[in-house]
């Protein structure tokens, strides 16, 4: 139970799987509905939806930029933290655990404000960079738990076999353990990716021009609150639905691979 909880940190989307009849069909309904609604609004309610759509379009790119850069950094941090969390060196282990405990104890939005405004004067970084740093630091802690769970899911015998051949700790980890662990790690990483994409909406507060910021700009200017937020929500929905299907397919593939 404990083990399972830590690998399944995700607040990502609800991943549709064939074994979950309801969710599987709900996915189809949702994606059809969302895509249909967007197309209908864009083509048949062109005013004002076309204007809004064009205005927010470049925000989608920023959203993806922040997401992808952050997940890459978070994976790197997560790897280090995960290795630290399974380390036999008590100081290293404790440092990694404390990082996880502290970061997970503070709301992401507070971390964003902290990094941007509080530390902003010391490290004078670009807003996008600050956003990516904050997201990475935060998700690094979650990712660390994913990596840790992935690593500990590999049988102890593998480590013993590698060590008895003469590999040192590092070689054992990188040649034997991690190449096997990625099967376990990849689906939750996919889930974290989705969760992170949703959480990038928070960077809009730092005046980063992501999808939500663009929506806020046009709605506060045109007073088309209902129309704008409807469209923005639909766009987010379509993106996460597609990604969650991707994760679901990946999960099925990997579990198939694991069986063979």
Contact residues for another protein, defined by CB under 8 A: 51, 55, 58, 62, 113, 116-117, 120-121, 124, 126-128, 155, 157-158, 160-168, 171, 175-176, 179-180, 205-209, 213-214, 216-221, 223, 225, 260
Neighbours of 254 (CB within 10 A): 16
Dist. CA 111–CA 128, nearest whole Å: 15
Determine the size of the site formed for a second copy (CB under 8 A). 80
Q: Residue 22 binds which entry of a second copy, another protein, none, with Cβ cut-offs from 5 to 8 Å by kind?
A: a second copy
* CA neighbor of 133 nearest in space, from 215, 81, 56, 206: 206
Candidates 42-50, 159-167, 169-177, 239-247: pick the segment binding a second copy (CB under 8 A). 239-247
Sign for the CA dihedral angle at 164, 168, 173, 179 comes to negative
Shortest approach of a second copy to residue 45 CB, angstroms?
Answer: 15
Q: SS3 of 110, please?
A: helix
R_g of the chain computed on alpha carbons: 21
Closest separation between CB of residue 214 and another protein, Å?
A: 8
14 is a contact residue toward a second copy (CB under 8 A): yes
Check residue 94 for interaction with a second copy (CB under 8 A): yes
Q: How far is the CB of 128 from a second copy (least distance, A)?
A: 18
Selected from 45, 46, 98, 171, the binder of a second copy by CB under 8 A is 98
Q: Which two tokens stand for residue 206?
A: 């730092």
Q: Judging by beta carbons within 10 Å of its beta carbon (0-12, 13-18, 19+), is residue 258 exposed, middle or buried?
A: exposed
């Amino acid at each position: 139970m404990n083990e399972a909880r830590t690998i399944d940190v995700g607040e990502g989307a609800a991943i549709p799987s064939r074994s979950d009849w309801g969710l599987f069909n709900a996915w189809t309904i949702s994606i059809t509905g969302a895509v249909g609604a967007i197309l209908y609004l864009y083509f048949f309610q062109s005013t004002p939806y076309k204007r809004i759509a064009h205005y927010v379009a470049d925000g989608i790119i920023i959203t993806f930029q922040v997401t992808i850069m952050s997940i890459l950094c978070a994976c790197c941090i997560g790897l280090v933290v995960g290795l630290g969390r399974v380390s036999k060196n008590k100081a290293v282990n404790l440092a990694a655990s404390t990082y996880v405990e502290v970061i997970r104890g503070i709301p992401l939005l507070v971390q964003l404000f902290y990094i941007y405004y509080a530390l902003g004067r010391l490290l004078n970084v670009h807003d996008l960079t600050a956003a990516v740093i904050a997201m990475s630091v935060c998700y690094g802690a979650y990712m660390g738990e994913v990596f840790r769970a992935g690593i500990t899911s590999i049988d102890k015998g593998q480590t013993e076999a590698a060590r008895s051949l003469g590999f040192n700790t590092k070689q054992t980890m990188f040649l034997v353990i991690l190449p096997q662990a990625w099967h376990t790690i990849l689906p939750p990483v996919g889930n974290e990716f989705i969760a992170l994409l949703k959480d990038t909406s928070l960077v809009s507060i730092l005046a980063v021009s992501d999808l939500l910021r663009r929506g806020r700009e046009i709605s506060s200017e045109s007073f088309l609150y209902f129309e704008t937020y409807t469209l923005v929500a639909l766009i987010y929905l379509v993106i996460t639905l597609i990604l969650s299907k991707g994760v679901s397919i990946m999960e099925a593939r990997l579990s198939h691979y694991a069986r063979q």
